[in-house]
Amino acid sequence: MVGMMLTDEEILLRTTVRDFAEKQLKPNASALDQNEEFPSENIRGLSELGLFGLTVDERYGGNGGTTRQLALTIEEIARGCGSTSVVYIAHLSLCTHFIEQFGTEEQKKKYIPDLARAEKIGAFALTEQGAGSDAAAISLRAKRHDSFYELNGTKLFTTNALEAETFVVLATLDPSAGTRGIIALVVTRDVEGFQINPQHGKMGMRATSTAEMLFDNCLLPVGNRLGGEGTAFGMTMRILDGSRVAVAAQCVGIAQAAYEASVDYVQQRHAFGQELSKFQSVQWTIADMATNIEAARLLTMHAATMKDRNLGYSREASMAKLFASRVAVEAADKAVQVHGGSGYFAPTVVERLYRDAKLTEIYEGTSEVQRMVISKSLLE
């Protein structure tokens, strides 16, 4: 496995983001969650640090950073506020990276500079009522009319949709063609016939916006298509590989926050005449949490390093996400248990982490899908 040793530049970046997380993200995370309020100030702060263009090519206003740097950044953001990390991943790892990786030079120059500065928020629309983990089941219909596509249908659970102005949307030209009928289009908010309806009631990551997107005879120029007709499924799988590394880093950050809250609590709380930290059962819980978090971090950085070295990393990305998401859920669960009754009530940090962590086993491909990817690579 590729080592975890960090360069001086990586250490400086991690320190910078951690300092921002401590001062800005952590103090406001619970209030944003309770109010279901989009973290606008957090986004502005991350933009001022240049983090929305972290891995974007310098030609388009980015910093030209690495996947390892991105993983370190996301871990620290998620450690401070899980919801903010979701917004960041959807914007950069899904929308921006999709356009940068598969767009024409004209498309890149048109859309990416604003995205790299977060002057416009990006979103990625894949999920539908019958399509999510099964991306090939997309039913949003695109019909070609000479130099335009006509879109009709619905997308669900789109992160950032209420704030976004630039969307990457997957649709099908021919449902009978399966994955070969799927196309990707850039959609802007001002397109006629495009309607966005908020969806409320999420269990966790409540400071993110989630919305239903309705397309009613929306006309888009053929020039808005990313890649060729019928190539979008393969492009999406490549983008999801990268985003799974990002989500794995998010999981490590959530788990780290749960661990740190638990350590602080057991060193302050007394029971039966002594600190909780003096009980062996508590000591073993803390030891298990720390060990699993470090293992998840190593898997994540290994996958990130492989991506940076242009090596095949699809299996490693799925392994990192599968393991790290389980570690996040288990760490949050143990944190609530360690806190006892107080951990069950809002607005304690661990109660929020418990709700936030569960999403990581569901989005960007469920844990079951990750096992499918891993087993296929091992057995075929």
Q: Does residue 24 lie in a domain region?
A: yes
CA distance 220 to 255: 42
Q: Are residues 358 and 288 in the same domain?
A: yes
Q: Does residue 100 lie in a domain region?
A: yes
CA distance 170 to 185: 6
Q: Are residues 87 and 126 in the same domain?
A: no
Q: Does residue 2 lie in a domain region?
A: no
Q: Are residues 163 and 135 in the same domain?
A: yes
pLDDT of residue 347: 86
Last residue of a domain, one of 116, 151, 169: 116
Q: Does residue 357 lie in a domain region?
A: yes
pLDDT of residue 380: 82
Q: Are residues 201 and 244 in the same domain?
A: no
Overall number of domains in the chain: 3
pLDDT of residue 2: 45
Report the CATH number that the domain containing residue 218 is assigned in CATH: 2.40.110.10
Q: Does residue 1 lie in a domain region?
A: no
Q: Are residues 146 and 268 in the same domain?
A: no
Last residue of a domain, one of 182, 206, 230: 230
* H or E segment to which residue 353 belongs: helix 349-359
Average pLDDT of the chain to the nearest whole number: 96
Q: What is the pairing mode between strands 122-125 and 166-172?
A: parallel
Last residue of a domain, one of 66, 83, 116: 116
Q: Are residues 176 and 99 in the same domain?
A: no
Angle at 323 between CA 95 and CA 236, to 5 degrees: 25
The residues annotated with a catalytic role in the active site are 364
Q: Which residue has the tokens 């102005």?
A: 165
Q: Are residues 39 and 28 in the same domain?
A: yes
Give the range of the structural domain holding residue 65, as residue numbers without chain letter. Answer: 8-116
Residue 118's closest CA among 83, 158, 90, 156?
90
For residue 50 the two structure tokens come to 């240049």
Contact between 84 and 261 under an 8 Å Cβ cutoff? The reply is no
Q: Does residue 3 lie in a domain region?
A: no
Q: Are residues 295 and 315 in the same domain?
A: yes
Helix (H, G, I), strand (E, B) or coil at 276: helix
pLDDT of residue 130: 86
Q: Are residues 248 and 351 in the same domain?
A: yes
Q: In Å, what is the CA distance from 246 to each residue of 17, 55, 104, 317?
A: 15, 12, 25, 9
CA distance 349 to 19: 18
pLDDT of residue 313: 97
What DSSP designation does 103 have?
A: S
Q: Are residues 246 and 375 in the same domain?
A: yes
Report the CATH number that the domain containing residue 250 is assigned in CATH: 1.20.140.10
pLDDT of residue 301: 97
Class of residue 203 by CB neighbours under 10 A (exposed 0-12, middle 13-18, buried 19+): exposed
Q: Are residues 55 and 163 in the same domain?
A: no
Q: Are residues 182 and 106 in the same domain?
A: no
Q: 315-347 burial, b for 16+ CB within 10 Å, e for fewer?
A: bbbbbbbbbbbbbbbbbbbbbbebbeeebeeee
Residues of the chain below pLDDT 70: 1-3
**Would you give the distance in Å from CA 260 to the centre of its chain?**
22
Contact between 136 and 178 under an 8 Å Cβ cutoff? The reply is yes
Residue 59's closest CA among 10, 119, 123, 105?
105
Q: Does residue 197 lie in a domain region?
A: yes
| Model confidence pLDDT, tens digit, residues 285-310 | 999 999 999 999 999 999 999 999 99
For residue 237 the two structure tokens come to 């799988």
* AA identity, residue 32: L
| Model confidence pLDDT, tens digit, residues 330-340 | 999 999 999 99
The percent of residues above 70 in pLDDT, for the chain, comes to: 99
Helix (H, G, I), strand (E, B) or coil at 142: strand
Q: What is the pairing mode between strands 182-188 and 148-159?
A: unpaired
